[in-house]
Amino acid sequence: MNKRVPDILVMDTCVLISNVLRRGVLHLARQACFRPVWSEVIGDEWRRNAARLWGVPHEDVQTQWQELQDAFPEADQGNVEAYKAGLRRSDPKDWHVVAAGRAAQARWPGLEASILTRNIRDFNRSELRGMGLGLLDPDEFMLRCWQQYPDATHGLMAALPGYALAPDKELEPLDAILRRERLFRINKLVVCSP
């Protein structure tokens, strides 16, 4: 495994919606492993889905979104509609995610950008490659971080049980959390590491 962590990572809604993945990936962003990116549409999707899935008031979700905006003030690429031009082969419902990556490339020329998603099948790799964008699932991303930023990733693994802690519940073992989040390859590394 010798692939680098991209400089820019577009966080798809499906990654942001998981408390464990969102907190974990942004933990690594705070360690300067990469720049997180999203758009207005990703934010709207996250707020709408989070309120519904978690059964919490929209105001609470809006407060959490604003905290993300404050913590990562350069992440939101705003309205990315113009960057959908030329897209054809990826799922049209996800063009806004690709457009966020293209907007970030325009904002920070020369930096490598990838999309982080659980929905790999919705994106056409050759189309993305032609636009200079990569595509990663969370497990592959964590593997790359483990290789390139071992101290930050080990710190994340220590913090992850706290990130996964639900109200009125006990801490879960790390391997149970990683398996539930479908981070199978990173789980094998964690289990095998001293």
What confidence score (pLDDT) does residue 157 get?
A: 95
Higher pLDDT, 54 or 110: 110
Residue 46: CA count within 13 A, CB half-sphere: 27
Q: Are 75 and 68 spatial neighbours (Cβ–Cβ below 8 Å)?
A: yes
- Average pLDDT along the chain: 94
> What is the number of other CB atoms lying within 10 angstroms of the CB of residue 153?
25
Torsion, Cα of 61, 5, 74, 153 (10° steps): 50
pTM: 0.94
- Which tokens belong to 138? 């969370």
Distance CA 37, CA 74 (A): 8
Question: What stretch of H or E contains 116?
Answer: strand 113-116
Task: Locate the domains of the chain by residue range.
Answer: 8-192
Torsion, Cα of 12, 17, 18, 23 (10° steps): 80
Confidence of residue 118 (pLDDT cuts 50, 70, 90): very high
**64, amino acid identity:** Q
Chain segment 147-165, per-residue pLDDT in tens: 999 999 999 999 999 999 8
Chain segment 67-92, per-residue pLDDT in tens: 999 999 999 999 999 999 999 999 99
Confidence of residue 1 (pLDDT cuts 50, 70, 90): very low
What confidence score (pLDDT) does residue 122 get?
A: 96
What confidence score (pLDDT) does residue 190 get?
A: 85
Closest CA to 148 of 178, 119, 112, 177: 112
What confidence score (pLDDT) does residue 194 get?
A: 59
Question: What stretch of H or E contains 60?
Answer: helix 58-71
Give, in order, the Cα–Cα distances in Å from 88 to each of 83, 98, 124, 135, 183. 12, 11, 9, 16, 30
Answer CATH for 8-192 from 3.30.70, 3.40.50, 2.30.30, 1.20.1540: 3.40.50
